[in-house]
Amino acid sequence: DWKMQDVLEEEIKVIKDMVGSEDHVICALSGGVDSAVAATLVHKAIGDRLHCVFVDNGLLRYKERERVMETFQRDLHLPVTCVDATEQFLSKLKGVIDPEAKRKIIGREFICIFDDFAQDLEHKLGKKPFFLVQGTLYPDVIESCPPPGSGRTHSHTIKSHHNVGGLPKDMKLKLIEPLKLLFKDEVRELGKIMNVPEAFLKRHPFPGPGLAVRVLGDVTEGNALDILRQVDEIFIQSIRDAGLYDSIWQAFAVFLPIRSVGVQGDQRTHSHVVALRAVTSQDGMTADWYNFEHKFLDDVARKICNSIRGVNRVVQDITSKPPSTIEWE
């Protein structure tokens, strides 16, 4: 694609001019497409003066840390530090039920970890990192301040956007936002010409607070997170096997904080209920629930109950947005 090749070269030049030949740049990778593409672009411009961090908050999906780290390192060759902060996040979330409270805690912990990362780096380098990369897209920019008319060359309104839970405000870092004039499909195109794997570029969106908004109630209760990860993996893998992944905007499982009676073998059980959610959408603002075939749902539900201890009931969410949101929280 010629246009994207031009965008790529132009952006690399802009970043080189901005950062110069001495300064260092930091970037928080969320595991999503935008931060990965933004970081890859900056890495092409300034090499290993880019320092990325990926935080495992204990709220990631099945094998997600291993999977995204492999993409960052093997496919994208990004210099990235992985911080396992599972204990730190989960201990703060213990007993917390209110979804907004969960979001605040997660945002705050993330800032602490990011701050530590920047300070460690400062010690190592003997000077402060000077720039921060963010994967802000054009819709984020217009959302924060709609430009007069709608000329897309308008680029002066920058929102302090946070893809990964908000960032320290007193760090005095200059922002690099190489994607801020692009739409999502253009970011994917840009990723493609930089050899970001197709499967990574097509991944369904995943919320910053992760599985904390998909375990209703206390996320640390019992083995809710583990059960949810396994159920979710069966659901997603079944969707992939059926060739449906790319026709769906987002699909996931939700762990409900209730139990219901069931019968397995000749035993009465009193076990967990999980919900399956799949929607089609253009932009996440509105969404339609996805209608699977009877056999698909039957197979998935059987597989979940047969292979995951502690689950005896599977329900499907058949509401659109509105009136529901996509996530349950």
Residues at the site binding ligand XMP, with contacts judged by CB under 6 A: 163, 205, 207-209, 250, 284, 321, 325-327
* Residue nearer to ligand XMP on the CB measure, 225 or 287: 287
**Is 250 or 312 the residue whose CB approaches ligand XMP more closely?**
250
Residue 59 or 118 having the CB closest to ligand XMP: 59
Token pair belonging to 71: 């993409």
**Is 247 marked within a binding site?**
no
> Minimum distance between the CB of residue 215 and ligand XMP, rounded to whole angstroms?
14
Query: Based on the number of CB atoms within 10 Å of its own CB, is 242 exposed (0-12), middle (13-18) or buried (19 or more)?
Result: middle
- Is 34 part of any known ligand binding site? yes
Nearest approach, Cβ of residue 108 and ligand XMP (Å): 14
Q: Is 32 annotated as a binding residue?
A: yes
The nearer residue to ligand XMP, 147 or 284, going by C-beta atoms, is: 284
Q: Are 161 and 134 in contact (CB under 8 A)?
A: yes
133 labeled binding residue: no
Query: Is 83:56 a contact under the CB 8 Å cutoff?
Result: yes
CA angle 237, 137, 207 (to 5 degrees): 40
CB of 207 to ligand XMP, least distance (A): 3
Q: What are phi and psi of 58, to 5 degrees?
A: 80, 5
SS3 content of the chain, % helix, strand, coil (to 5): 45, 20, 35
* Residue number with CB closer to ligand XMP (41 or 287): 287
Q: Which is nearer to ligand XMP, 22 or 185 (CB)?
A: 185
CB-CB contact of 251 with 297 (8 Å):
no
CA dihedral 125, 131, 133, 137 (to 10 degrees): 180
Q: Sheet holding 131-133: strands in order across?
A: 80-84, 50-56, 25-29, 131-133, 174-176
CB of 190 to ligand XMP, least distance (A): 19
Known binder of ligand: residue 30? yes
Cα dihedral: 308, 310, 316, 322 (round 10): -120
Amino acid at position 251, single letter: A
Instruction: Confirm or deny that 75 is annotated as ligand binding.
Output: no
**Cβ atoms of residues 84 and 114 within 8 Å:** no
- Closest by alpha carbon to 180, among 208, 142, 145? 142
Return the structure tokens found at 287. 């969404």
Quick one: 130 or 289, whose CB is closer to ligand XMP? 289
Q: What's the CA gap between 187 and 164, in Å, rounded? A: 18
CA 144 from chain centre, in angstroms, equals 21
Residues at the annotated binding site?
A: 30-36
Annotated binding site for ATP: 30-36
